[in-house]
């Protein structure tokens, strides 16, 4: 049963040559790592090593003779009933052999992942593993062996938001023939100690032929995920009227009974596709009346339970604190989404937070929230009562806010760690159980956003004392000094974007966001846009300058200093270069925004010379950003051109999520506005949403 697994086109030629040379000498190829495991674990561990781009990794049954390998890992299922736990022990005085003790499939894989991490491997991006040039044991990590690792949370996973044109859309919903990216995502979740993954259904499967193909393809995906020990979920919306994207919904016709429409549409999501859980969603801005919503949720649950009684059901408590999102029910004024608490008690509520905001600090006006105190209070109420509740924070938002700008925001790593740390502290103080379930809303992995998911997934399994510890471990094998720069950037972003409320100014903005703001629909925090400056009264302009523009300038100066302490641009390591380019873009963005608002203020005051000088500064920052984007997009972890180009897909967005990062459309939009203000021109800024 011994198998030699060699994968990765980058090493294929070298491996072929090595095999040929060794075979010519008449000697067998010596494995780098040999894994011996019980027969039932051989197949999943074969896939585990198949996605590590290193030659000479062997998986064999424990009944076979020992392999002459450089490093040896033996898996034993002898850890008792500790669910998803593992312990890695050294073998006597042998510095090249370890035993992974586990009691189940996931625990065994987690332990084997740790064994590879001892050798310097890091499972960073789903499609891109860090492989050390010379795998060797890390003495500091080896010294910490012999400890049982038990998960702090029982639910640890990703919600892959396939309503957005991100990598998981093309992996899970419309893959290319022969594409293995979905399996690589499942593998990556396992290696980072996750145990569940879900994605969002789109409405294209209403077409019968497409629906039939989707069921066939999805059944195969579920079988692959289940074989690795993962549970899988599917999210969908109930009301089409509140579905602003192309999500699959159950109730589209206001003139027909909702029950009948659910009877027609729900089986499409169940028949032949054995999902383990389903997530109910209710849109972001509009909804049904309280009684109708609760009744429809209960009806949906009842029908879903009848079709697949073993599946769990969750429901999203989204954010939104505008007056028209409040309802009065049973004498209580509450945000519309909290009506979920009156529905069937078997439905597990998900407390959502958005962007890099957390449950404990200022929310910047996102979705009209100054803070997420109601969501925090609901979460704590459930924990105090011993009732199930999930926390569903975001690790990327997309939509003109972060990675599509582009912006590198390790602030996400800080906020996701801060949430679980503060929730744990509250439990210790108040005596309630700890948070046991966390599902991360994931929306894109380039520009370092894989860091956010890796850090938060691992903190779901075992929270570190500081988020710096997580960064240190992430980059220890190849860039041990980089964590300090990332932490510096995250702290500077926390102060500027959350504490000083500058988030809206560093984010992008498109014409659709402008239209929504005019209608009172606020998602990302609102701002005085560049083309609004000329129309401000003098006193308002002065306040904008002191409260926003000067602070953005000070933030830019901080980032200049951080960049000066970072490695040089053009580092040959993709991983180091990615962080450095992220710091460059962060600095350039702050300088650019400072300059275009300076230009607009000068234009409003009739100071053409100062305005032109500011435009020149904006152009310089734009050039730096363009160079960073060119470098980064030429060396993406996922080279799929669909991510950076316009083109048809099954979402409402007919382009990849990095399209406007590729051409810096949000920047160009602001630059045209500033030029109009300085030069009294009327050029039309690009809309950046079509």
Distance between CA 159 and CA 392 in Å, rounded? Answer: 8
Same domain, 613 and 643: yes
Q: How far apart are CA 638 and CA 125, in angstroms?
A: 9
Q: Which two tokens stand for residue 654?
A: 């007919």
**Domain stop point among 448, 470, 485:** 485
> In 3-state terms, what secondary structure has residue 349?
strand
Q: What are phi and psi of 565, to 5 degrees?
A: -95, -5
Report the candidate in 222, 208, 306, 216 with the shortest Cα–Cα distance to residue 262: 306
Would you say residue 30 lies in a domain?
yes
pLDDT bracket for residue 562 (50, 70, 90): very high
- pLDDT tens digits, residue range 66-88? 668 999 999 999 999 899 999 99
Cβ-proximal residues to 660 (8 Å cutoff; 6+ apart), any chain: 400, 404, 405, 508, 510, 666, 688
Residue 686 is assigned to a structural domain of this protein: no
Q: Is residue 690 part of a domain?
A: no
What is the rounded CA–CA span in Å between residue 43 and residue 175? 24
- Write down the pTM of the prediction: 0.95
Q: Are residues 206 and 100 in the same domain?
A: no
Do 42 and 170 fall into the same domain? no
Q: Are residues 512 and 447 in the same domain?
A: no
Structure tokens at 365: 């006006």
Q: What is the pLDDT of residues 190-236, one digit of tens each?
A: 999 999 999 999 999 999 999 999 999 999 999 999 999 999 999 99
CA distance linking residue 288 with residue 239, whole number of Å: 8
Q: Tokens 């691992």 appear where?
A: 458
Residues 106 and 203 in one domain: no
Residue 150 lies in a domain: no
* Domain end point (choices 485, 517, 544): 485
Task: Reply yes or no on whether the pLDDT at 3 is more than 60.
Answer: no
What tens digit of pLDDT does each residue of 365-391 get? 999 999 999 999 999 999 999 999 999
Query: Which of 103-112, 198-207, 422-431, 517-526 shows the lowest mean pLDDT across its residues?
Result: 517-526
Q: What is the pLDDT of residue 93?
A: 80
Range of the domain at 264: 155-485
Structure tokens at 618: 């904006």
Q: What is the mean pLDDT of the chain?
A: 94
What is the DSSP-derived secondary structure letter of residue 1? -
The predicted pLDDT at position 242 comes to 78
Query: Per the domain annotation, does 28 fall within a domain?
Result: yes
Straight-line distance from the first to the last Cα atom of the chain, in angstroms, rounded to the nearest whole number: 54
CB burial of 68-96 (b: ≥16 within 10 Å; e: otherwise) equals ebebbbbbbbebeebebbbbbbbeeeeee
CATH number for the domain harbouring residue 94 = 3.30.379
CA dihedral sign of residues 525, 530, 531, 536: positive
As a whole number of angstroms, the distance between CA 5 and CA 675 comes to 58
Q: Which tokens is 530 given?
A: 């560049």
| Within a domain: 109 | yes
Residues 108 and 162 in one domain: no
Per the CB < 8 A criterion, the answer to whether 56 and 34 are in contact is: no
Q: Show Cβ contacts of residue 672 under 8 Å, excluding neighbours closer than 6 positions.
A: 683, 684, 685, 686
CA distance linking residue 619 with residue 591, whole number of Å = 10
Q: What are phi and psi of 8, to 5 degrees?
A: 100, 115
How many distinct structural domains can be found in the chain?
3
Q: Is 283 left (phi over 0), alpha (psi -120 to 50) or beta?
A: left
Asked whether 353 and 435 are in contact (CB, 8 A), the reply is no
Residue 9 has a pLDDT of: 34
């Amino acid at each position: 049963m011994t198998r030699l697994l060699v994968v990765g086109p980058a090493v294929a030629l070298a491996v072929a040559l090595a095999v040929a040379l060794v075979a010519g000498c008449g000697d067998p190829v010596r494995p780098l790592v040999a894994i011996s495991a019980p027969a039932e674990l051989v197949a999943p561990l074969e896939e585990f090593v198949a996605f590590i781009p290193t030659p000479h990794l062997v998986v064999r049954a424990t009944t076979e003779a020992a392999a002459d390998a450089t490093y040896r890992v033996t898996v034993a299922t002898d850890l008792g009933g500790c669910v998803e736990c593992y312990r890695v022990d050294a073998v006597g005085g042998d510095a090249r052999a370890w035993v992974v003790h586990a009691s189940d499939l996931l625990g065994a894989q987690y332990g084997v992942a740790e064994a590879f991490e001892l050798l310097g491997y890091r499972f960073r991006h789903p499609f891109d593993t860090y492989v050390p040039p010379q795998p060797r044991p890390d003495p500091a990590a080896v010294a910490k062996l012999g400890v049982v690792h038990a998960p702090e949370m029982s639910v640890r996973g990703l919600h892959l938001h396939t309503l957005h044109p991100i990598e998981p859309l093309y992996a899970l919903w419309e893959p290319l023939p022969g594409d293995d990216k979905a399996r690589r995502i499942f593998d990556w979740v396992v290696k980072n100690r996750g145990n569940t993954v879900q994605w969002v259904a789109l409405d294209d499967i209403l077409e019968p032929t497409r629906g039939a193909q989707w069921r066939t393809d999805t059944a195969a995906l579920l079988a692959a995920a289940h074989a690795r020990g993962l549970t899988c979920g599917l999210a969908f919306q109930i009301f089409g009227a509140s579905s602003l994207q192309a999500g699959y919904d159950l109730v589209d016709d206001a003139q027909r009974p909702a029950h009948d429409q659910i009877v027609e549409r729900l089986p499409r999501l169940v028949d032949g596709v054995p999902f383990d859980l389903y997530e109910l969603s209710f849109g972001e801005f509009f909804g049904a009346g309280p009684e109708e919503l609760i009744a429809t949720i209960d009806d949906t649950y009842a029908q879903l339970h009848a079709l697949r009684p073993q599946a769990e059901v969750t429901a999203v408590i989204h954010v939104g604190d505008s007056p028209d999102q409040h309802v009065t029910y049973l004498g209580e004024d509450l945000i519309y989404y909290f009506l979920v608490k009156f529905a069937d008690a078997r439905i597990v509520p998900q407390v959502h937070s958005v962007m890099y905001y957390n449950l404990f600090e200022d929310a910047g006006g996102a979705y009209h929230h100054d803070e997420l105190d109601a969501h925090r209070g609901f979460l704590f109420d459930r924990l105090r009562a011993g009732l199930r509740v999930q926390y569903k924070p975001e690790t990327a938002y997309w939509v003109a806010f972060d990675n599509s700008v582009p912006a590198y925001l390790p602030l996400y790593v800080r906020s996701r760690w801060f949430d679980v740390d503060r929730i744990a502290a509250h439990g210790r103080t108040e005596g309630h159980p700890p948070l046991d379930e966390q599902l991360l809303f994931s929306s894109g992995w380039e520009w370092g956003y894989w860091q956010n998911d890796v850090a938060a997934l691992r903190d779901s399994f075992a929270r570190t004392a500081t988020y710096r510890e997580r960064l240190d471990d992430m980059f220890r094998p190849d860039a041990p000094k980089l964590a300090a720069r990332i932490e510096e950037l995250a702290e500077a972003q926390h102060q500027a974007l959350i504490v000083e409320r500058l988030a809206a100014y560093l984010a992008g903005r498109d014409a659709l966001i402008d239209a929504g703001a005019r209608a009172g629909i606020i998602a990302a925090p609102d701002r005085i846009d560049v083309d609004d400056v000329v129309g401000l009264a003098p006193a308002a302009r002065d306040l904008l300058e002191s409260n926003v523009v000067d602070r953005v300038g000070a933030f830019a100066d901080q980032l200049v200093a951080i960049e000066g302490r970072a490695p040089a641009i053009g580092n040959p390591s993709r991983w180091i270069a990615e962080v450095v380019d992220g710091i460059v873009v962060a600095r350039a963005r702050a300088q650019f925004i400072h300059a275009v608002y300076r230009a607009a203020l000068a234009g409003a005051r009739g100071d053409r010379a100062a305005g032109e000088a500011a435009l020149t500064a904006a152009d310089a920052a734009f050039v730096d950003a363009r160079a960073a984007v060119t470098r980064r997009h030429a060396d993406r972890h996922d080279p799929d051109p669909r991510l950076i180009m316009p083109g048809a897909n099954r979402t409402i967005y007919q382009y990849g999520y990095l399209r406007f990062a590729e051409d810096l459309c949000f920047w160009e939009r602001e630059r045209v506005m500033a030029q109009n203000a300085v030069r009294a021109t009327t050029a039309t800024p690009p809309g950046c949403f079509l």
